[in-house]
Amino acid sequence: MQGVKRTALPLVGAVALLLVPAQNAFAGGPTDKGTTDTSTDSGLKDDALYAKATAISYDTSKNGSGASVGPITASGSNWTPPACWHAPLWTAKQFAKETEDGYREISGDPNQPAHSRRGTYEFRQIYKDGEYKNYNLDKQDEGMWWGAVENPNAPILERTACNSKLPFWVENGETPEVETAITPEILAGLAYEQIKVPGTEVTLAPDGTTKVNLPTWAWLDKGEFKPVSVTASLNTPGLNIQATTTAKTVSLKLEPGTTDAETYPASGECQINDDGSIGEPYAKGKASETPPCGLRYLRSSGNGTYELQATITWDIAWTGTGGAGGDLPDGAFGNDQAVTVQEIQSINR
Beta strand 216-220 with 210-211 is unpaired
Tally of CA atoms within 13 A in the half-sphere of 30 that contains its CB: 19
Chain segment 214-272, per-residue pLDDT in tens:
999 999 987 777 899 999 999 888 789 999 999 999 999 999 999 999 999 999 999 99
> From residue 84, how far is each of 88, 153, 243 by CA, in Å?
13, 10, 17
The closest alpha carbon to 87, from 60, 50, 42, 122, belongs to 50
How large a percentage of the chain has pLDDT more than 70? 82
Cβ proximity of 205 and 282 under 8 Å: yes
> b or e along 229-246 (b: 16 or more beta carbons within 10 Å of the residue's beta carbon)?
bbbbbbebbbbebbbbbb
Q: What is the 3-state secondary structure (H, E, C) of 13-55?
A: HHHHHHHCCHHHCCCCCCCCCCCCCCCCCCCCCCCHHHHHHHC
pLDDT of residue 67: 78
Global model pTM greater than 0.85: no
Confidence of residue 346 (pLDDT cuts 50, 70, 90): low
**Chain mean pLDDT for the chain:** 83
The dihedral sign for the CA sequence 261, 264, 270, 276: negative
Does the pLDDT value for residue 45 go beyond 50? no
Beta strand 210-211 with 341-342 is parallel
Q: Residue 280: how many CB atoms within 10 A of its CB?
A: 16
Give burial (CB, 10 Å; 0-12/13-18/19+) of 248. Answer: middle
SS3 96: helix
Cβ proximity of 305 and 339 under 8 Å: yes
Chain segment 141-156, per-residue pLDDT in tens:
999 999 999 998 899 9
pLDDT of residue 201: 84
> From residue 118, how far is each of 10, 55, 111, 257 by CA, in Å?
14, 31, 13, 62
Does the pLDDT value for residue 343 go beyond 80? yes
The closest alpha carbon to 135, from 82, 93, 74, 167, belongs to 93
Rounded to 5 degrees, what are φ and ψ at 80? -135, 155
Domain map (residue ranges) of the chain: 5-56+80-182, 197-342
Chain segment 179-205, per-residue pLDDT in tens:
999 999 999 999 999 999 988 888 999
Could you write out the DSSP letters of every residue in 149-169?
EE-TTS-HHHHTGGGGSPPEE
pLDDT of residue 24: 27
